[in-house]
Amino acid sequence: MAVPPGVSERDFSRALEEFANTVGQEWVFTSAEDVQLYRDAYSPFYDEKEDRVASAAVAPDRVEQVQAIVRTANKYKIPLWTFSTGRNLGYGGSSPAYSGCVVVDLKRMNRILEVDDKVHYAVVEPGVSYFDLYRYIQEHKLNVWIDPADPGWGSPLGNSLDRGGGRTPMREHWDAVCGLEVVLANGEILRTGMGAMPNSAVWHQFKYGYGPYVDGIFSQSNYGIVTRMGVWLMPAPEAYRDGRVSVPLHDDLVPFMETYAYLMNSEILRGTMLLESPLLSYHVSQGGSFFEMPKGPSIADLDRMARDRNLPYWSAEFRFWGPPKIVDAQWEVVQEKFGAIRGATFADGRNYRFPADAGRVDQRDAPLLVALGIPNLGVFGLLRGGGHLGFSPILPMTGEAIFKAQRVYGRLYSELNLPAANQFAALPWSYYRRALVLLFGIPTTKDPAQNQQGRRVFERLVQAAAENGWGEYRTHVAFMDQVADTYSYNNHALRRFHETLKDAVDPNGILSPGKSGIWPKHLRKA
Ligand code: ADP
């Protein structure tokens, strides 16, 4: 049996016994076979000694059990690592940042505590998946939509805590959170916001409560175990439509993005956009690259190619949700504003009324389903089953920033000899309202030599991003320190603040050591 570092076998056995007394022997897992299930299937250290592995797992069913587990862990100084459904693939899955942690698996806490379709929110426990919540809403015929992550088997609670994104107007998952219940490292229960008031009538409707707003410190953090969460939902829209806007030339991207930001920040456009390039797609089909490569064709050459082939350089699909009159008007305004770019073209897309047209929705179109609030696993088909390491730097919402990223990563891809036909990496998404994000998926395999190369690439990508002022918004457990290192303003003032908080709220350092680069005192590097 594996034992957490720094813990004696005797203390560990006693702790496991106490865990078993708390949750029942059948919910404590110590055999290699069981613990193996908590490994990261996409690990960049697969079968190497640095692979992050758990020592054991414990699966509580209710908050009192979580409190008891934390108290036991404090007594024997057992490091814990908490997850909700553990589907955080690309970022570590259910594996800890610190090897030897006991994994606290919250999948059994899967109660949907409330769904309100008059003021539009849900209250969920950690183990509730997007599928669960969707089914519940369907079965109870409630008039709300959820905003699932691309793979629908994750949890609203876990995904929101890690600040993931979806595709509908409620796509900023952390932004949709309202009111938490948290078990602190000392075993005490804290309710945030209005929940601090006993019998609060508005816990999940007003975020701020009174005094300092603390909810944020429980996201991407190791200051507590969240045991329930309020999540705002979208009123079920009467209609959905989409349309495509294309512009002909390279430099058109600057006014294109300016128009986009104007429409987005005016809330005429809502939801996630992926910038696409029909011209670059053609270029890639001819052996070219989505990036701007040092020895590739010049922009003038590409513009010429765009003209000759009659292919727009840039294009994006925009989605609209709401009453028919409103979505029609929004699409009209979008066309009017982009129409100021010479040569802009527009194409009407899908147009549904709900519930009448639900049967017309193409069930194989995974991104569309997600945009319609229907969880699915289609994204794995798009990934073709391969493992990957997520690298996702945040960029300004401007054409100039996209050009710069194209050049910076083009140079790097060429230097590192990487396949540059990766549209997802080269072209940005707007998962977050006021900024863009690039999504790199660096392949991971079961071959240590290839993984070593992947890690080197990852490190270079992080470094190149930081040099240009682009931060990674979330990262794999194996790279949390490196990414935290890039947030270094004023001699790492932010990290030092995180550490001050950590020491105050978790003096024994038992909760998720190393999460987001935050280590307890005894594990901190000098
Ligand atoms: P999902 O399965 O929804 O993708 P996870 O359950 O894997 O998400 O959680 C993502 C990350 O968020 C975890 O690695 C962990 O760091 C953090 N996390 C998840 N659930 C909790 C929780 N209940 N309390 C504290 N942190 C959590």
Cα-to-centroid distance, 283 and ligand 1 (Å):
40
Per-residue pLDDT at 525? 81
Could you tell me if the CB of 451 is within 6 A of ligand 1?
no
Structure tokens belonging to residue 18: 């106490």
**Position in ligand 1 atom list of the atom nearest CA 162:** 12
- Is 0.75 surpassed by the pTM of this model? yes
Could you tell me if the CB of 87 is within 6 A of ligand 1?
yes
* Active-site residue, 260 included: no
Pairing outcome for strands 394-396 and 345-353: unpaired
Structure tokens belonging to residue 57: 């797992």
Query: Which residue would you say has higher pLDDT here, 386 or 358?
Result: 358
Peptide bond into 355 cis (omega under 30): yes
Beta bridge partners of residue 177, listed in sequence order: 231
Per-residue pLDDT at 271? 96
Report pLDDT digits (tens) over 193-251. Answer: 999 999 999 999 999 999 999 999 999 999 999 999 999 999 999 999 999 999 999 99
Query: Which residue would you say has higher pLDDT here, 105 or 358?
Result: 105
Q: Which of 82, 111, 217 to mutate to test the pocket of ligand 1 (most atoms within 8 A of CB)?
A: 82
Per-residue pLDDT at 382? 63
C-beta separation of 222 from 480 below 8 A: no
Per-residue pLDDT at 378? 85
Structure tokens belonging to residue 106: 């919250």
Could you tell me if the CB of 225 is within 6 A of ligand 1?
yes
Active-site residue, from 76, 91, 260, 431: 91
Active-site residue, from 42, 76, 223, 473: 473
393-413 average pLDDT score: 97
Q: Which of 43, 161, 506 to mutate to test the pocket of ligand 1 (most atoms within 8 A of CB)?
A: 161
Could you tell me if the CB of 312 is within 6 A of ligand 1?
no
Rounded to the nearest integer, the mean pLDDT of the chain is 96
- In angstroms, the CA 481 to CA 486 distance is 9
- In angstroms, the CA 164 to CA 407 distance is 27
* Active-site residue, 434 included: no
Per-residue pLDDT at 380? 76
108-132 average pLDDT score: 98
Report pLDDT digits (tens) over 73-93. Answer: 999 999 999 999 999 888 999
Could you tell me if the CB of 181 is within 6 A of ligand 1?
no
Active-site residue, from 52, 241, 319, 474: 474
Report pLDDT digits (tens) over 379-394. Answer: 877 666 568 898 999 9
* Active-site residue, 121 included: no
Per-residue pLDDT at 397? 98
Amino acid symbol at 375: P
Could you tell me if the CB of 158 is within 6 A of ligand 1?
yes
Compute the half-sphere exposure of residue 329: CA atoms within 13 Å on the CB side of its CA.
7
